[in-house]
Structure 1
Amino acid sequence: MAAKKWPVALALVAGTLALMAGLITGGYALEGWQLAARWTARIGFPIFLTAYLGSSLVRLAPAPWSRALIRDRRWWGLGFATSHTIHLFALIMAVRLSPEPRTVASLVPGGIAYLFIFAMAATSNQAAMRALGHNWKRLHTTGIHVIWLIFTLAYAKRIPDMETRIIGITMTALALAALSIRVLARRQRPSALAA
């Protein structure tokens, strides 16, 4: 069991390094925390996609590597929750230091995402699965798609800005490709490993 937890350790190390890199580059003032928030989000996205695509990849390409993804999917999800908690810390610091107040409406999407992240992390165990029954699957299916949508919209809104266009196009394309893989996998005959 301990060997399977390595995605959480990877996420913790990667998120911490991204946080430190932002602060070293931009200092401990607003710019540093903004960089830290940006870079920790970028670290969390591929970790999220790994959890998002686990069951789809094992359906489309059953192989030892895809079976390992599905076997460790819970730990990839917990790794994402870990890295995104680091992102939340950086984001809170950036918002606190910013002279421009954030509107409540601008905080709602991220707040909803974090409700799902923490609810999914708290229920990522066998006891919660038994206690919640069918509602466990509803929570995790809804949550993972809400998080996907918020990531996608956050990156898509960067496309019109010349300074952030490349990252916006790249990350939005990755998000849409991941959704396409999930749709394609649903059309395939389900694998016993993906259940």
Structure 2
Amino acid sequence: MVPFHHNMTSLAYAHYTVDSAPIEALSEPPSNPSHSPPLSTTSSDDNIPTRGRLDAHRPRLGSRKSSGTMIIPRDSPRVEMAPGEEEYEPDDVRSMSPRRTSEVIEKLGEDARRNLIEYVSDSEPCCFDANDMLFRQAQALRASLMAIVDRVEAVKIEHEKLEGGNKFLQSYIGELIQTSKITSAAPSKKGKSRNVK
């Protein structure tokens, strides 16, 4: 029994000596200091992200312009423009009436006729005796202006016909409505008279 106990002790010491050797080797400092990585504080400072520096220059939320200022509330008095604030040029479509009366059409025809007469009086054929080409161009322009005047007259006549037809239709529709009211009220009266009998 004693030798066996001695062997166990030797094995235990051997295990201790084997395990302790690597620990002592690891705890020793490196023999060659030239291969150790240099420790510098400047490199670590350079590797720090500059997020904090950028956040310092970032504008605050209070200084930014909110998009809510571009939205007009529904109950605001400035939702629609006042009638006097809308200014359009005379040739603008928005300043023209979509429907012209017979008086406006007649005035347009008179203006076109007057402009034609003024143009013809200013461009007499005697002024173009020296140049036949200009005289022919003036004749063609005069013919086109006359055609425009004729077209205005035709449109005026058609407009008067449409106005007459519109009045006739309005009177006819009014008569139909009156007739329908009379016919709808008549059966109810007959029914009441039968119930009384």
Q: What TM-score, normalized by structure 1, do the two folds share? A: 0.25
**Max Rg structure:** 2
Where relative contact order (Cα < 8 A, 6+ residues apart) is larger, the structure is 1
Higher helix share: 1
